[in-house]
């Protein structure tokens, strides 16, 4: 769930850019119409030449406006929309969704930073996974020493032993819940299956890491 506060006007960057180009286009049309009115009012022998020149200038200005709008859409709006979709998937747990955007500008740097964030988050989650596996082994050894099973809540012995066993069982459940959270994510080049960490290469070759 997004915690981003909505802006007061709630207008997207795409709509703001469209509004900017529309206003710019209207200003260009108003300026061209004003010039055309002045030259028509003071028409003379060269009025046709002036009229043709104004038409050429107006066409050139409109072409520049359209080209600028297309350039802005393809180089700003579209890459930002792609990064927005990829970052949304990452926020939903799909850490394998990286931005494959090779650009040397600020948008490219932003995409690389988002990728770095996803990779760092993956490393943290895998670190938690490894330590939860170690914790499970330690808890199982302790349970074996006290002669009780971690998978059941049945305990036998004195009150102190029962209290220790309940605490260990609670730690085991919390540890399993933590592992379930880690396994709910999807990772880049790595999969967590059947209590094992498997790389994409190992999965394709049929080799499973312990």
Q: How far apart are CA 91 and CA 161, in angstroms?
A: 43
Rounded distance, CA 142 to CA 43, Å? 102
Burial class (CB in 10 A: 0-12, 13-18, 19+), 71: exposed
pTM of the full predicted structure? 0.64
- pLDDT tens digits, one per residue of 88-143: 888 888 888 877 777 777 888 888 888 888 889 999 998 998 888 888 888 888 88
Rounded to the nearest 10 degrees, the angle between the axes of helix 106-145 and helix 78-91 is: 10
What is the predicted pLDDT for the residue at 42? 63
pLDDT tier, 12 (very low <50, low <70, confident <90, very high otherwise): low
Give the C-alpha separation, 121 to 94, whole Å: 11
Candidates 91, 73, 67; CA nearest to 17 is 73
Label residue 5 by pLDDT band (50, 70, 90).
Answer: very low
pLDDT digits (tens, 9 = 90+) for 133-170: 888 888 888 888 878 777 655 555 555 667 788 888 88
Q: Is 102 exposed, middle or buried (0-12, 13-18, 19+ CB in 10 A)?
A: exposed
Confidence of residue 3 (pLDDT cuts 50, 70, 90): very low
Give the pLDDT confidence of 30-68 residue by residue, as tens digits: 777 776 676 666 665 556 666 677 777 777 777 877 888
Tell me the helices (H) and strands (E) count for the chain, helix number first: 6, 2
User: How confident is the model over 176-186, as a mean pLDDT?
Assistant: 87
Predicted confidence band of residue 208 (pLDDT cuts 50, 70, 90):
very low
Model confidence at 209, pLDDT cuts 50, 70, 90, reads very low
């Amino acid at each position: 769930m997004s915690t981003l506060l909505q802006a007061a006007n709630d207008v997207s960057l795409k709509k703001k850019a469209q509004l900017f180009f529309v206003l710019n286009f209207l200003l260009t049309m108003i300026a061209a119409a004003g010039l055309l009115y002045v030259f028509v009012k003071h028409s003379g022998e060269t009025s046709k030449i002036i009229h043709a020149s104004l038409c050429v200038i107006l066409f050139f200005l409109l072409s520049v406006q359209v080209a600028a709008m297309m350039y802005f859409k393809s180089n700003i709006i579209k890459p930002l929309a792609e990064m927005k979709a990829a970052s949304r998937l990452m926020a939903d747990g799909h850490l394998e969704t990286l931005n494959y955007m090779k650009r040397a500008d600020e948008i490219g740097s932003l995409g690389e930073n988002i990728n770095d964030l996803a990779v760092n988050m993956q490393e943290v989650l895998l670190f938690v996974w490894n330590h939860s596996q170690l914790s499970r082994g330690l808890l199982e050894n302790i349970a074996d020493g006290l002669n009780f099973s971690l998978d059941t809540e049945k305990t036998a012995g004195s009150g102190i032993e029962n209290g220790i066993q309940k605490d260990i069982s609670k730690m085991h459940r919390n540890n399993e819940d933590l592992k379930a959270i880690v396994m709910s994510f999807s990772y880049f080049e790595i999969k967590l299956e059947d209590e094992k960490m498997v790389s994409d290469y190992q999965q394709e070759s049929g080799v499973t890491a312990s």
